[in-house]
Chains A and B, each alone.
Chain A
Amino acid sequence: MTTTATTADGEVSSPARARRRRSTGSPWVAVAFAAPLIVYLAAFYAYPLIRSVDLSIHDYNIRAFVQGNAEFVGLQNYADIVSSPLFPSALWNTVLFVGVSLLFQYAIGLALAVFFRANFKLSGFLRALFLVPWLLPLIVSASTWSWMMNSDSGIINSFLGAVGVGQINWITSPDTALTAVIIANIWLGIPFNLVILYSGLQNIPGDVYEAASLDGAGAWTTFWRVTFPLLRPVSAITVLLGLVYTLKVVDIIWIMTKGGPANSSLTLAVWSYREAFGTGQPAFSPAAAVGNVLIVIALIFGLAYVRLQRREEH
């Protein structure tokens, strides 16, 4: 137990002094409190990451995996995946999956946030209901969507049939599989966008709206001239964070389509998962190479997010 004596300041701090001195105590006490986290990060973040890099620069098969004597191949695995015919299509699917998902999640989330900004009867309760998709386990959402999109017995085709649209093989046709998982993913992401954008709207002072309405601005003008520009920093953070999260999505796609049919809904993350765990023949080395490429992409946008957030704080 860390009951080390703290460096005695000796004096009663005036408020000014307390503000200047942000922290108290000796650095060693602080390190002791942070030690579990540091050990944890090293053991369960840094080490698995190092292992994953290690996997990607060796040629691991299942046997070498257990014995640990895989052949060193340098960047061969990376060269292999980039030159694989799957790479351009997986990259494009990733761009579509992330881009289209974010666009709709953001637009719908923002529309709902603006709608709920006005207080009306039940507004708090209804807003809470919108959190449901986000709280459900993904396996639940994904399997529900799968059944709703079932070609013969799904409710969606039944609705569409009622308005004269012919049967769509949502999940089993290569033309629509990516659309199907994107629709499910948009549904999943709306709550996150709604909550963050709503809290961003709360931070816009009410007198700004009053001023706009005194100037005779209608609802539409107010939104485009006042709300939207003032919300830009929060919007940027929402979209960037959503981007980083959407890039790494595996479960929803894997459960609904397994990346198929004919790789039509295969994103980089799903490709990596499939190589390592999705087939009877685990190919960890290429899987790790794909995964590491994904990390680099995620980090580029992640660092943009961190920079943006830091700037917001100042």
Chain B
Amino acid sequence: MTARRTWWKTALGVLFAAIMLFPVYWMINVSLTQRGDLRSNPPHLFPVNPTLEGYSAMLDGQLPSLGVSLLVGLGCVVLTLAIAAPAGYAMSLLRLPGGRTLNFILLVAQMIPAVVMAMGFYAIYVRLGLLNSLWGLILADSTIAVPFGVLLFTAFMSGIPRELIQAAKIDGAGAWRTFVSIVMPISRNSALTVSLFAFLWAWSDFVFASTLNRNGSMVPVTLSIYAFIGNNTTQWNAIMATAVVASVPAAVLLVFAQRYVAAGVTAGAVKD
């Protein structure tokens, strides 16, 4: 009896997921469609004569931008970890004066609209000559992830048993040793979650890229898709092919790190 009921639920779940993921399917479908069939009415529900011309057009022009996005993403991961992990340690396990205030500032920092930050960065970068530079974009993109990272590390490290820290101290380990050889190894999963999000946010960023890096040779993939749409509205198969490739990190994350993704979404909002 119960088995029958759950089968019914599974069928419904599959239907819901299919509706939800239809845009993703459609993106893949269009990316494989011949240019001549793009405007056919009604549109083909399946790639009838699948072609890779969209992908080869993408390879011709978009490859460098994928490299730029990769570099920016990795740069953001390193920067975010380097700042967030020690700060989380200080806020959770050490006696940091004003820790609560800092916690509050971080919560508020996450609420500042990116447009406003972009204007501030633009004004600063104009003077410093950092516009259209890789470093400038890494710095700006990291502001999306750093407050989140600190809060996540703080929340996790607060749960580390004090006895462990005390024991390390008795063994003569200083704060730095304790951090490197005890706290960080235990916090490996948190570090993974923070890295995943820092990478994904930097990879997906559009606002900072379109304001701080719009004229340079170092264009990330989000911006290059945007420029592609602006320039040729007929080549939607190539646009969608680029979009498919730009979605690869998200797909990889979902397959290999789904646990950490769910942990990250929840961490910011709900205390367990």
Binding site for B on A (CB under 8 A): 1-6, 8-9, 12-13, 15, 18-19, 21-27, 29-34, 36-38, 40-41, 44-45, 47-52, 54-55, 65-66, 68, 112, 115-116, 118, 120-123, 126, 128-141, 143-148, 152-155, 158, 161-162, 187, 190-192, 195-196, 199-200, 203, 234, 237-238, 241, 244, 247-248, 250-251, 254-255, 269, 272-273, 276-277, 284, 287-288, 291-292, 294-295, 298-299, 302-303, 305-306, 309, 312-313
Interface of A is mostly: helix
- The count of chain B contact residues (Cβ–Cβ below 8 Å) is 108
Residues of B within 8 A of A153 (CB): 38-41, 43
Binding site for A on B (CB under 8 A): 6-7, 9-10, 12-14, 16-17, 20-21, 23-24, 26-27, 30, 38-43, 82-84, 86-87, 89-91, 93-97, 99, 102, 104-109, 111-124, 126-127, 139-140, 142-143, 146, 150, 162-163, 165-166, 169-170, 174-177, 179, 200, 203-204, 206-207, 210-211, 214, 221-222, 225-226, 229, 236, 239-240, 243, 246-247, 250, 253-254, 258, 261-262, 265-266, 268-272
B124 touches A24 (CB 8 A): no
B262 touches A195 (CB 8 A): yes
A137 touches B204 (CB 8 A): yes
Residue of A nearest to B236 (CB): A147
B116 touches A255 (CB 8 A): no
A60 → chain B, closest Cβ, in Å?
8
B269 touches A12 (CB 8 A): no
Q: State A241–B254 Cα separation when bound (angstroms).
A: 23
B87 touches A33 (CB 8 A): yes
A15 touches B116 (CB 8 A): no
Q: State A271–B215 Cα separation when bound (angstroms).
A: 22
Q: State A126–B175 Cα separation when bound (angstroms).
A: 44
B28 → chain A, closest Cβ, in Å?
10
Of the candidates A6, A8, A41, A237, the one whose C-beta lies within 8 Å of that of B269 is A237
